[in-house]
Structure 1
């Protein structure tokens, strides 16, 4: 096998993984089957890990399985495992590190692609609960203005503002 074949398999797998990640995030993690793990990601984290991190373990185990099958019988599966692993590293650096600041330092991008990605994912978390969220991809972000328009149209932000406003009550007798 020439080097071109494996390189193309890895690149195609990384690209395909964004579609897989979008689909899993949208319809499994935010669906009734996966919300039990994923809701921890939409709440305040206490400690270095959250239940949602189990999804990374599942994808790592799938990648390991591909390495095993590819090493034993079908070599092209090994290269797909490499592509999944590369996507996992990208996810860890961009999503966990850049967006959710799970690094030991804080960096907020001020311009360009990373700013758009950061803003899109912050808008994903602007909605409480699993419904009416936007932007389910991890390395692709739709235009921020489009996401804001979708959030306004859904009424989810107005509902959130109303809920938080009603939750605050001044103490009786306070001056």
Structure 2
């Protein structure tokens, strides 16, 4: 049970960490890497921004390797980081940016709100004046907009 709690707590912490790193590091001193993510359409299948996946993957792998097969607590931190990375890849790169061709649309109000928030982030292509830096946490205004949009699509009978 402790292992599961460590992995889940790490996963939850990663949302805050991703927001912080995105806002203050990727849109700051490491803009040189992150800039490629704000150029649309991307001319290549891989962007300089993808180095962040490599960095977090390496950290997670190091925690796995040194965590003695799960007997050390940091192995489970690595599990939480890896789980967050997988969710990040499928939601952010797969759904939002369409890098996975099999996942193009969704009827989920939450995922549509997430997509709206991310589009607001990309509204500016420069490093300054962006907003919405998180991945899984969505501002209530985008959830409200997505619900309103779903109600309009459903029509007056279901709204």
TM-score range (shorter-chain normalised) is 0.7 to 0.9
Question: How do 1:22-171 residues align onto structure 2 when only pairs under 5 Å count?
Answer: 22-31=19-28, 33-44=29-40, 45-71=42-68, 75-105=72-102, 107-144=104-141
Higher normalized contact order (CA 8 Å, seq sep 6+, divided by chain length):
2
1:102-154 CA distances to partner (integer Å, 9 max, x unpaired)? Answer: 012452334410010010001100012011101100111213459x9xxxxxx
Quick check: 2:70–2:76 contact (8 Å CA) kept in 1? no
Larger Rg: 1
Question: Unpaired runs of 5+ in structure 2?
Answer: 146-159
Residue 87 of structure 1 aligns to a residue in which SS?
Answer: helix
When the two structures are superposed, what TM-score results if normalisation uses the length of structure 1? 0.76
Question: Unpaired runs of 5+ in structure 1?
Answer: 149-175
Spell out structure 1 runs of 4+ moving beyond 2 A.
108-111, 143-146
Distance 1:106 1:9, change over 3 A: closer
When the two structures are superposed, what TM-score results if normalisation uses the length of structure 2? 0.83
**Count of matched residue pairs:** 143
Distance 1:145 1:14, change over 3 A: closer
Distance 1:81 1:133, change over 3 A: same
Q: Which residue number corresponds to residue 7 of structure 2?
A: 10
RMSD of aligned alpha carbons: 2.1
